[in-house]
Structure 1
């Protein structure tokens, strides 16, 4: 068996069954809402006669960025069962480090105990398509976890380009389930997410809009600080407040938005693109549609502009008051 926290190893053709759970922490009986210091992991049962542990490790490294800094919950990790697995994991990480300029942050840790996650987390992609569950005649729970067919279908379903958070009120915890579905879709990096529930859609759109506002303010204030400093060389009353504002907005964005998977998405307003999406089956007349976009350049932009502007302001103040 192989236990990892990231990468699509569970989609490999050698996967016989898998289950989502939590490992690596000290908290007893963790839950998704009370995880403690555990990491979300997936326990994969594979056929050693068809593949090798090292090949699954290669798949693990290939499909995620092992140099990224994530919270404990989502960090990149390999949990080994014995010294042989530890040796192979260490060797593979040394080999992979040659492909990166930044240091790999993946943790290689001994598996002390694996806690199975709640039923609604198991085969999450498959459970979004209830008609498939019904067709397979599989009950959520242990039967779903043990099913090889469900594991294979869940793996292929992940290639879907769109996730729909449907507004179906079938329990008292429907709103919480909507949020969990959205979180899972965001973490899975689905290219397009359609949110039917109005409240959740509006809250998500506002959160993204505030992040966009902070980004634009940081960039514009930073450029304004630099330009005003060049125009009014004898005073710092304009450039310093703008430079400080730019740095403040960048700091707030970094603390609250930068590592949020939600901010890798933007709300789609283009009617032409929206018309090409399969929205006819939705009960909501105005769902919120999120489209995944690369945000690495804009992060670099506002970080660089803010730091340059603030440094320039400090230099101007030094020249004025030395």
Structure 2
């Protein structure tokens, strides 16, 4: 017990796992990949996986850490976001309570997972009795909004990303609504930065299918290097969560990482972390939360 267990979800954008698995492989004790046994998305649509992906996975897994977990993750009588939440719960149970249960989406690429794990280990006492002391561990996203001809558009404000928990009483996707412990860790997030066809496919099949801001897609289509400063409030749910876009004249992931490492424009300061964590500690001194699993699980 008290292992570092990392879970991924395999679906229509399976090929992005070639980028998201390698950054965490060395520091994970086990990796679990959840795949619907009938190749159905949370909306009940079929997806296909190129057999070459599984060949790559087998060749890559030199330490025999990776296990594919197949089950029925689509229930037609519940909503896409409930199917999303249910799958994450089932995956975490497979990973085993008593370990750190980390879930990383296929389009999230960790910058320094080793550092994140080192910080997590300071909180291993929360693994002694997870049901009594449930917590979430959060890092931050750098959201790549769109690839354009000359580089990338990115969201100028960082966004929390709830990667890990000790107790999988998820309420919506990875959100348990328990106390959050913020750590200094980043992923680059390609949630929206894909072709228009692939983005529309994602919107029709992801957990947020029924929640998308109707203005979102028009803004995304219009955004380019010349007008990005004029386009505001670009988040796909509540637009104001992502207020502004920035531009970087590089497109390869290693160049993107180098740019943000050198400029430090998205850096999280120790004081910022202290303030966030103190606020969470104080808030949950008296707040009562619902530790129960959702009934539809």
TM-score range, shorter chain: under 0.3
TM-score, with length taken from structure 2: 0.23
Higher relative contact order at CA 8 Å, sep ≥6: structure 1 or structure 2?
2
Q: If each structure's helix is expressed as a fraction of its own residues, which one has the higher value?
A: 1
**Bigger strand fraction:** 2
Greater radius of gyration (CA):
1
TM-score, structure 1 normalization: 0.22
